[in-house]
Structure 1
């Protein structure tokens, strides 16, 4: 059997780990090997230990995909996945399952999601025989002016924490809007599992426990700018410490909030008792989000953006998101022979990183709320424009400098997907933006407000410049792919600016390199950092061409070759996204779902 062939080779000195010596009682403990940590440490890093062997399939695959005929779900938490399957088994639609999953994740994974954030969805509607899109993005407070926002800026950009970053939460209205059109079970039944686990508690898995801890380290830093941290501590660190790995965590405040929503629908949140509590809270701490902001919020049904990549249809949410960046990258890369370049080769990764840099310059220059600015979407998404941009890329050197095109006259996120027995597939993503969000929790409500407003620009003339009642540029994007007009992949890769890069890598792994739905996610990834940012939060400490981070599984020869042509190679930092996918296959003409999750998160995929 083959070992994981794409892991970097270990230097000889490190590989020559001696056999365990025989010891006697009373002997001193041996000195730890370099990189070794005791098993009860927050992380356990053994660079001399490789992945295990697989008797079939990609040697680097962490496990097999799961298969079923009646339904499937994949999420970043096993209990959320089980809840999704439970809802499907009760006769719920894929939308019912997605809402139940998201409500559960608001409790289970507060580091990435919750009803204080926004939500987007791509849905394969089997009755319409097409992909439809929903944007659940909230607007900035009407009382927060550009002048006030600029007065709170740090280094030319809005801060990452505090009330000035809070925009209207859109997730709950998105759930309601989806349920009104596609729900089969009652609204209360869909929310019941989340209420149950929030009341009774669940053990916290390792990655989520670590992220909660890191968030509160940031919240407690001097000068963090959070007007009120007491409520957040009371909710997520009731004994003064965030939950340890395996500790049972409960959130009775969130359970009560969910009960009010289960009984009163979306109006309980946007026009009822929850809205009044939010209004009073922000008045008390000197913030700007108001009852009127909540009452005027509504989600929007949108026509998804679309392109093809080697005959595969790729769909993306447009509006105020970075979904267009995935399409731009694919359009550029279609001009190159990626299959011929070779899987995990220096040329393949070089071409992808250069396509990313070109697309992200356009992202920084043009992407914004189309209700406030005319975004040249058709031009940016065109094959002709992509061909022009592709001509700038050279296989043997890095493009420097890189500019946006001349138009004619970066958070934490949770992604999940579900599919049902009727063929409906839901690709859904939800986020509080950076980490857990703004650090603010309204009195007794049990959820944190997003800090999405940090993504506004403060530059005069920029299409994404802050304005009251405007939606900020968004990083969260669900993914969907079709073949011959039929649904194929409902997928996503979480993680700020990693999302278009991750989505592109998944599609290249499937289409160009022939990896299956699980191996495509387990394959080592790159993450390029350092492109321009519309909010002005550039990184002057990075090289002009940015930092190309490569996961440990990328071959050493590839890393060396990329460095030789000028790329600054960064160490792996865990920021390579988290992937979930449901694939629709039809072997022998029968509908079969294949569901995949990955090792970078606590979650799992299930099918039945």
Structure 2
């Protein structure tokens, strides 16, 4: 009944328009906290961290301080896009031999809740570093975390999507080897929609972080509790691994597409998948095919197959491996991959290309402030509650990002000590391809391997078909099933039920295996947020003309509980 009640998309929502700042997230209380921080004098980076912390309280199955974060920051004073990688690394003393000695292999991997899957939680350091590097310097960390602390202590009403997340992840909290899992429950059960939930232990952790900075998380009682629960579940992370953790500041990668420039963080994140797919699609007349037509969907599916085949092979920690990022983003390389796309038939097997010349659960939020700065921010535990492991007296779950390592000798993404895994979380931005790199949008679509797929589809909705941000998010999507251990080929394609039956039939005739998804299952298509500066996506306007170009337009995905709020 809940699926029918909460996941029927039978209403409309207008885009939110604003002139002094705007936020968008998957939870109303998180969006409110972002506006509160902006009104208190904070900037886009300050608001983004406040929202990320509130989301840890209100949707802890998806995100939190026990996971990782990534951010892109647009600096309006210099018209530049800067990036921070807040993802964690594996234990220094772990290796492929560690896994093989325990009987694990690429085809027989540790169970999801195993402590080996926990990489160092990078979110705490990422939050602090985002504020210290990109923040306004007008607000303290205590002030920025206070909205989350107040909600965790005072209680909040649980929203429908979050309640479903809690229900789906409850088994991981009740395992015998997870003695503190009950602290994330309401009594002995997950909270239901409308229940009042309090998380005093999480508030305590936030207070420690606010008072002591990064040391309050990566050293002392919080760090000790993290290591205790990991090692008691077979993991190898140590206090030294936590103390040695550092975020990294990185130059974003980009590609041009039909007059706009799309920005992503470089590997170990999978943002390169989005850019490669756009490069492949660039020379096709998608608008002529028609939005949502079988031909249009076929080309998106095949371009994504090609780009995922490459990113799953070559995307890894560039500090440990030679990742051919520049070669993969070459327009010449894209042309060679595009030639493999059959416009009439689904590919039966797609392997990675050769980019070398002559010869390798989540929340997303978005903020634009009154000064024109923007922050595209994403935070994740990976699957529901990650590993589900809860450190004693801490109130948060530990991620399971280590699941994305390959256990295959010689693979660029093979497990190794102190290494970051292939990471699915990817914030994005759009600027003008010319005209002094003006901000056009900050956007993202959360949801594991759906993220680049969602980004491509939402961006095409705006660039090719002139949709406003809310309509671009409302439109039905496809989701290609991704299997890291298999070659990309005739994999299952999920379509939202709102596509007509004729579309399903036409895709089957092209050789695609298609399945319709409805109810809460529609969350697999991602929960996105978009804020654009100006209505450059509209065919009826010309970007840069007058005051109209300064108006912010925002949308929040109907597949989530959230909302956009303008000032």
Please, what TM-score do these two structures have when normalized by structure 1? 0.86
Q: 2:506 aligns with which of 550, 553, 561?
A: 561
Return the alpha-carbon distance in structure 2 between the equivalents of residues 285 and 495 of structure 1: 26
Tell me by how many angstroms 1:519 deviates. 0.3
Which residue of structure 1 aligns with residue 323 of structure 2? 375
8 Å contact from structure 1 (residues 103, 114) kept in 2 = yes
Tell me by how many angstroms 1:123 deviates. 0.8
1:443 lines up with 2:402 in the alignment = no
Runs of 4+ with >6 A deviation: none
1:77 lines up with 2:27 in the alignment = yes
8 Å contact from structure 1 (residues 344, 555) kept in 2 = no
Tell me by how many angstroms 1:106 deviates. 0.8
Which residue of structure 1 aligns with residue 409 of structure 2? 460
1:253 lines up with 2:201 in the alignment = yes
Which residue of structure 2 aligns with residue 175 of structure 1? 127
Counterpart secondary structure, 1:315: strand
1:500 lines up with 2:452 in the alignment = yes
Return the alpha-carbon distance in structure 2 between the equivalents of residues 42 and 366 of structure 1: 41
Q: 2:37 aligns with which of 87, 90, 97?
A: 87
Note the aligned Cα RMSD (angstroms): 1.9
- Give a deviation string over 1:254-300, Cα, whole Å, max 9, x none: 00111111111111111333223323444555532221111111111
Q: How does 1:522-541 map to 2 (within 5 A)?
A: 522-530=474-482, 532-533=483-484, 536=485, 538=486
Residues 45, 544 of structure 1: alpha-carbon distance in 2 compared, 3 angstrom cutoff: farther
Structure 1: gaps of 5 or more residues? 1-40, 53-61, 221-225
Return the alpha-carbon distance in structure 1 between the equivalents of residues 5 and 155 of structure 2: 30
Which residue of structure 2 aligns with residue 301 of structure 1? 249
Return the alpha-carbon distance in structure 1 between the equivalents of residues 462 and 80 of structure 2: 22
8 Å contact from structure 1 (residues 152, 159) kept in 2 = no
Tell me by how many angstroms 1:227 deviates. 7.0
8 Å contact from structure 2 (residues 305, 489) kept in 1 = no
Which residue of structure 1 aligns with residue 541 of structure 2? none
Return the alpha-carbon distance in structure 2 between the equivalents of residues 564 and 421 of structure 1: 51
Q: 2:4 aligns with which of 44, 53, 76?
A: 44
Which residue of structure 2 aligns with residue 153 of structure 1? 104
Larger Rg: 1
Return the alpha-carbon distance in structure 2 between the equivalents of residues 579 and 387 of structure 1: 29
8 Å contact from structure 1 (residues 135, 299) kept in 2 = yes
Q: 1:204 aligns with which of 131, 139, 158?
A: 158
Counterpart secondary structure, 2:546: helix
Tell me by how many angstroms 1:152 deviates. 5.8
Tell me by how many angstroms 1:395 deviates. 1.6
Counterpart secondary structure, 2:216: helix
Q: 1:216 aligns with which of 163, 170, 173?
A: 170
Aligned length: 543
Please, what TM-score do these two structures have when normalized by structure 2? 0.92
1:603 lines up with 2:562 in the alignment = yes
Which residue of structure 2 aligns with residue 20 of structure 1? none
1:589 lines up with 2:547 in the alignment = yes
Q: How does 1:269-418 map to 2 (within 5 A)?
A: 269-408=217-356, 409=359, 412-418=361-367
8 Å contact from structure 2 (residues 42, 135) kept in 1 = yes
Which residue of structure 1 aligns with residue 145 of structure 2? 191
Tell me by how many angstroms 1:470 deviates. 0.5
Return the alpha-carbon distance in structure 1 between the equivalents of residues 355 and 24 of structure 2: 39
Structure 2: gaps of 5 or more residues? 535-543
8 Å contact from structure 2 (residues 229, 389) kept in 1 = no
8 Å contact from structure 2 (residues 172, 385) kept in 1 = no
8 Å contact from structure 1 (residues 159, 454) kept in 2 = no
8 Å contact from structure 1 (residues 322, 475) kept in 2 = yes
